[in-house]
Structure 1
Amino acid sequence: MIIRKIRKENPSQRLIDEAISVMESGGAVIYPTDTIYGLGVNALDEKSVRKLFRIKGRAPDKPVSICVSKVSEIPRFSKPSEHAMEVIRRILPGPYTVLLEKRDLVPDILTGGSSKVGVRVPDDEICRGISAKFPVTATSANISGKQPSGNPHDIMEDLEVELVLDAGECDSTEPSTVVDLTVEPPSVLRIGRGDPEVIYRISRCMG
């Protein structure tokens, strides 16, 4: 396990490139987000995704979300409606995961066999940097069923990964708010760090 200290603001491009290289080679990376630490592998590589499930001890029927570098990338991996994209542009980048119909490019193993995929565009330079070449998995860096920790050193004790991007203690251990944008009106499936009232207000204005 390699541990690299990284700044949240103006992170080193060399470290970003190192993380991309590790994942490109089938490795796993612990990385900070705008919510909690995430566990990242190349989300389009089935072998890497299987490895992530083993590392977390996650049941294969439990889906894993993806992180992409910018909002304009979302239609590459999912099929948002015009209304969904209007909502997305209002809330992302930010602490929200949006549930959308997936494209065939996204492996079924990632979504637990579901036709839908969760997508994040975090308000975080590191996340957007490491997902610039391919989408990375956006699941909390913890053993399944265990409360996530904001301390990267605690996380390292539980998870066997190739690289840790250590940006210090997280401000919060709340996950993202999950919003299903495949239904009208949008449905909030999990309340996390984002504000679900924002979703309701936007939906009412655009409905």
Structure 2
Amino acid sequence: MLIRKITRRNPSPEVVEEAISVMEGGGIVIYPTDTIYGLGVNALDEDAVRRLFRVKGRPPHKPVSICVSGVDEIPRFSRPSRHAMDLMKRILPGPYTLILERNELIPDVITGGSSRVGIRVPDDEVCRLITARFPVTATSANISGKPPSPGIEEILRDLDGVDLVLDAGECQSMEPSTVIDLTVNPPRVLRRGKGPLDTIL
């Protein structure tokens, strides 16, 4: 396992490219987001996603969300309504996970066989650069069922089998993203987390 220091602003292009290369090869990367640390693989690589589930100890029927680099990427992997797109353009990038109808590019292993997928566009430069090549899994960097930790040292006490760690220091907030179901109108909040709701509901 490799650990690379990275800054959230103006991150090293070499370190970002190393993370992308690891994931292109089926590897697992711990990476910073605008909420907590994420556990990332190429979300289109089914074998890598299955390996992530084993490392995290996550039951295979439980879906994981994905990160993409921008709002314009969301229709590549889902079927958002016009209303949903308008809302997402107002609140993203930001600490929200949006539930949308998936399309055929998203493998069943990501959604647990569901017709829906959770999508994030974090307000984090490292995250956006990594996901510019392909969507990346957006699940917290912890063993399934345990609370997430703010720092890399604590995370690695539990997690084994990770290939690369991008260490951006301790998380300033341990609030997870707010999860909003955009397959219904009006939108429905499924989990309250970081991020205001006054522009959504």
Name the TM-score, length of structure 2 as normaliser.
Answer: 0.98
RMSD: 0.7
Distance in 1 between residues matched to 2:53 and 2:107, nearest whole Å: 14
Corresponding residue for residue 190 of structure 1: 191
Q: How many residues align?
A: 200
Corresponding residue for residue 130 of structure 2: 130
Shift of 1:196: 2.6
Distance in 1 between residues matched to 2:154 and 2:198, nearest whole Å: 33
Q: More deviation in 11-20 or 150-159?
A: 150-159
Distance in 1 between residues matched to 2:197 and 2:56, nearest whole Å: 28
Distance in 2 between residues matched to 1:6 and 1:28, nearest whole Å: 17
The residue type equivalent to 2:45 in the other structure is: D
Distance in 1 between residues matched to 2:23 and 2:191, nearest whole Å: 28
Corresponding residue for residue 22 of structure 2: 22
Corresponding residue for residue 46 of structure 1: 46
SS in structure 1 at match of 2:200: helix
Name the structure with the higher helix share. 1
The percent identity for this pair of structures is 69
Q: Which segments of 5 or more consecutive residues in structure 1 lack a partner in the other structure?
A: 201-207
Distance in 2 between residues matched to 1:15 and 1:93, nearest whole Å: 22
Cα offsets for 1:22-61 (capped at 9, x unmatched): 0000000000000000000000010000001001100111
Q: Which segments of 5 or more consecutive residues in structure 2 lack a partner in the other structure?
A: none
Shift of 1:168: 0.3
Correspondence 1:62 to 2:62 = yes
Correspondence 1:158 to 2:158 = yes
Distance in 1 between residues matched to 2:82 and 2:66, nearest whole Å: 21
Name the TM-score, length of structure 1 as normaliser.
Answer: 0.95
Distance in 1 between residues matched to 2:174 and 2:11, nearest whole Å: 21
